[in-house]
Structures are given as C-alpha cells and as structure tokens.
Amino acid sequence: MKKIFYIIPAALLLFSSCEEKLDINQNPVQPVTTSSNLMLPGIEGNMAYHLYSHARYATYHSMYLTSRYGTARIEDRWDYNQITRLGAWRWHYFDVGSNAIGLIERAQQEGSDNYEGVGKIMLAYSYLTATDSFGDMPVLEAYTGDFSPTYDTQDVVYKEIERLLDEGMASLQASDAGDKTMNATSDLIYQGNLQHWMSFAHAIKAKMYLRTANFDGGYDRVMNEVNAALANWKDAIYYYSSNPQRDWERNMWGPSTPSPQWNFADIRNYLTYSVPTDFFMNYLTVDEPNIQYDPRLFKLTTPGEDNTYEAARVSLGLEGRDMSEFPNLYNGHWTSDSSPLPYVLEEELLFIKAEVAFHQGNKPAALEAYREGILTNMNRLGVEQDSLSNYMESAKVRKAADALKISDIMTQKYIALYLQPESWVDMRRYQYKETAYPGIYYPENVLTEFGGKWIQRLPYDPQTEYIYNPQEIERLGASARDWVTKKFWWEANSTL
C-alpha cells in the first residue's frame, strides 16, 4: 500500500459543510504537511464517501433494491468477474486511511492528543468498514512503503482495530488545554466534543464485537460497550450542504447522481434504474384497517403513479410493468442531494442492545430496546404522531416479551438501517436464514455457477491488488470466479 495523501479531495470535502472555498493546488503524490485542525474535516468527509461506496453494493446484496432490468451484472447476477475498478477499496486505503495516518503523525508532532485520538478512531472505523466487505486485508504491513504487503486474516485485522480504538480512547482521555483547538470548524461530526467521540469509539467496539459474540461468548462484552455508547450518545452523522451547487457538496445517493472529479465511476448511484424488492416491501406492508403501510415508507420514498407502491422480485426486473408504477427512490430522507449520511445512529445501537439481550435470555430488556429503536427511527424520519401510534399498535410490533422473536428485532433493524452497509453484515451473520429474515429467498438470476451459494464479500480492487500484489491474490484464491461467495472468518464460525 503506497502512502499517499489525497489532500485535494480532503480539502474540498471540508467545504461541503462550511460552504467556503480554499484555493489549493497541491501535488497529490507528494506528502503534504499541514496542521491537524485542517486535516480532520476532509477525513470526515472522505469517511462519508467510504461508507457510501460500500452501501452502493450492499443495498442490492441485502435485498432492499433490485434493478429494473433483471440482467444487471452486479445488482442482479452478483457477477463481479468483469469489473475494472472497485473504488471502495481505495476509499479506505488512500482517501481515509492515508490521511488518517497523516493526521495521527501530525497530531503527535503537535502534542495534540485530541486529534491523535480522533484520528485513530476514524482509522479504526474505516478498517472495520473495509474488512466487513473484503475480509482479509493488509494491516500489519499497510503504510510501510511495501507495494506487496501480506494480507492479514480478518481476526488479526480485528485485533488491530481494537488496538487503534483503545489507543484512540486513551489519547482522548489524555487531552488537555495544550492541544490544538477542536471546534465546529475543524470537527464536522462532534464539533470538538471528546466525550461524544469516546461514545462513538464504544459504538464501533459494540458493532465489531457483535460479529463474533455468537461463537466467542462475547455478548456481555457487546452489552457493556453498547451501554457505554448510549450513556452519552449523539448521532454520528455527516451533513452535506443544504444548498449544494457542486458535485462534491452533494450526497452520493441524490438525484443529480453526483460524480465528483476524483471519485470512481463504479460507485455512482443506480437508483434511477432500481426499484424496491418485494422482500423489503413485505416488511413495510401492514395491511390493517387503520394502516396499510409502515409510515416510514412515505419518508423514504415517494409513490408511483396513482399512488402505487409496486415491488419487484429480486433479480427479475419489472416483469412487464411500467417503471411509473414503482415508488421514486430519490428525495427520500436519505436520498436527496442534501441528505445527511449516517456513520452510526442511535437506533442501530438500540437494536444491537435488543439483539444481545435476546440472546442473553433477557426478553423484557430486549423488548424495551426493540420498541425504543422503532420509535427513535420513526421520530428521526418525522413520522406524524397518529401514524406512529397506529403502527405501534399494529401486529407488526410486538407488545409482550414472551412473544418476541429474533426476527422481530432483525427486521425492524433492517427497516431502520435502510441503505446502510450494516444490513448486509447482519444478513451474513445470520447466514441469510429465515429465522432472522422471514421471507428471504435466493435470487433467480444469480450466476448459476455459484450453485446456490449466497454472496459474502466484495472482490479486491482489480487495478491495484490484482496488478501490484498478485502473489497474495493467488495465495488467497481471490481470482476464482466464485470468490465473492467465500465466507469470512466470522461468517464461517457463526452459530446463528
């Protein structure tokens, strides 16, 4: 992994929230030294792009959406064998990772424990996001100047993420008045509040430990971390400009289909050519006298002609229907040009708490967290009180602890995390089973050569790894046509 600092996109992203302009013309292949307070905003913006670059694919693999055609190579057939780029890999190693390393080093030179701590926490989250899509990846030899680093196994990557989080939290605790100032200008996520950053680090730990808790006896550890996060929680959200004028000011899910100059064409959104799946719409359909649909549907999408909400079988396209009969996916809460992009939301933590309590045998606590998660998500989306009350009284929501099932928790989490890559993580943790996701089915048009195996990962970036690190690709077997169906370490060990 080459140690490169992409200062131009980092600087541009800084102003997607500040709406100011800085004239910078730096050579992007030369390391640039600047103060830590000027580096962090760009890293935060790049992390939003990084999360989106995984969600761009995970949204289809977790069956929220399907293409209108039924023949889309990736969205319908899971066929990555002819791709030439995969920008999600580079968003970690170059755009977030390299700049985070630079921030950490600069903060250490300055003696700014606050920026060092945040830099390590951001690097940890970027690694977690990447490894949960790619699996094994360089971490011990990353950023050493070696162009052909060894790919570490995922359990080693997780240990390094844990180390980064521990060190980051220790740095935050050591911060004092001598540190460079961190405020709303230099920190676009928490405006310099280090206690909120501490909570965010606990949230990342909870997410990471949840992957392995079912086979390493770690549910108590997850519960401790999620409670520590919720005790002083503020949502981690990246906010784009309220009046975007240029592509780099826009959310990548927006209707203008932004394509910033430095971005990768492979992650432009595909919503124009996509429709909701019947799998997703079944979860959003209540069909009771006082309520036909989950009211969140109207906040996430807008109806088709004649107020219709058609849905399609995964991978089968429109099957003769007109696109106008399906809901418009743009300009929902998360899909306008100015929509915010979430890192981690409170409802996700509440559903983690509910899931863990359920597996610990504490169904009353699980029910409480589950219901609170639903309410938190509905309030975030601006659901009106009457609609909210009708939904909470419907058969879609459990009222008694004894009746609560793991599928109740996981399907509500799935709805709440619409368009977030974490939903694909959850589906793989539960091995795409109906016990967690009732009604799930294997898509008909997936490549037949996969033999009914589910998609488990993304391939590595062809223009870096397959060219510059072929010996590791060969050792892993990552050139195989069915590589994307090979399970991760935490999937292969799952007892769920």
Please report the pLDDT score of residue 206 as a whole number. 98
Handedness of CA 161, 163, 169, 171 (dihedral sign): negative
Contact by Cβ (8 Å): 34, 248: no
Mean pLDDT across the chain, nearest whole number? 92
Q: How far is CA 70 from CA 67, 269, 350, 443, in A?
A: 6, 17, 36, 10
In this predicted structure, the answer to whether residue 25 has a pLDDT above a threshold of 60 is: no
Alpha-carbon span 431 to 427, nearest angstrom = 6
Q: Flag whether pLDDT at 333 surpasses 50.
A: yes
Give the pLDDT band (50/70/90) at residue 248: confident
Of 304, 307, 300, whose CA–CA distance to 322 is shortest? Answer: 304
- The pLDDT of residue 304: 84
**Given this model, what pLDDT does residue 307 score?**
86
243-257, 413-427, 430-444, range with the lowest pLDDT: 243-257
Top CATH class, 7-240+452-492? mainly alpha
Q: Where are the domains of the chain?
A: 7-240+452-492, 275-339+346-416
**Span 345-355, average pLDDT:** 98
Comparing 149-163, 213-227, 259-273, 302-316, the range with the smallest average pLDDT is 259-273
Expressed in angstroms, the distance from the first to the final Cα of the chain is 35
Q: Measured between alpha carbons, how far is residue 268 from residues 53, 57, 87, 274, 336 in Å?
A: 9, 10, 10, 13, 14
Whole-angstrom distance, CA of residue 56 vs CA of residue 114: 32
Backbone angles phi, psi at 275, to 5 degrees: -140, 160
With a cut of 50, say whether residue 15 has pLDDT above it.
Answer: no
Written as one letter, the residue type at 150 is T
- Give the span between the Cα atoms of 89 and 129, in whole angstroms: 10
The per-residue pLDDT for range 445-485, each reduced to its tens digit, is: 999 999 999 999 999 999 889 999 999 999 999 999 999 99
Whether 263 shows a pLDDT value over 80: the answer reads no
pLDDT for position 274: 97
Give the pLDDT confidence score for residue 18 in this predicted structure: 40
pLDDT, greater one: 314 or 84: 314
- 70-79, 252-261, 291-300, 342-351 — which is least confidently predicted? 252-261
pLDDT band of residue 146 (cuts 50, 70, 90) is confident
Predicted local confidence at residue 21, as pLDDT: 36
* pLDDT-based confidence at residue 260 (cuts at 50, 70, 90): low
pLDDT of residue 13: 35
Instruction: Examine the pLDDT at 28 and tell me if it is beyond 90.
Output: no
Average pLDDT value for residue range 261-280: 85
pLDDT at 12: 32
Q: How does 66-100 read in b/e, with b if 16+ C-beta sit within 10 Å?
A: bbbebebebbbbbbbbeeeebbbbbbbbbbbbbbb
CA 480 to CA 473: how far, in whole Å? 10
> How would CATH label the architecture of 275-339+346-416?
Alpha Horseshoe (1.25)
Q: How confident is the model at residue 147 (pLDDT cuts 50, 70, 90)?
A: confident
The answer, yes or no, to whether residue 19 has pLDDT greater than 70, is: no
Confidence of residue 377 (pLDDT cuts 50, 70, 90): very high
Q: Tell me, what's the pLDDT at 8?
A: 32
pLDDT surpassing 70 at residue 401: yes
Tokens of 269: 């959104």
| Residues 44-56: tens digit of each pLDDT | 999 999 999 999 9
Residue 266 has pLDDT above 80, yes or no: no
Lowest mean pLDDT among 103-117, 184-198, 241-255: 241-255
> Are 255 and 334 in contact, with CB atoms under 8 Å apart?
no
> Cα(356)–Cα(334) distance, rounded to whole angstroms?
27
Q: Evaluate whether 7-240+452-492 and 275-339+346-416 have a shared fold.
A: yes
Neighbours of 481 (CB within 10 A): 12
**pLDDT exceeds 90 at position 202:** yes
For the ranges 20-24, 151-155, 164-168, 382-386, the lowest mean pLDDT is seen at 20-24
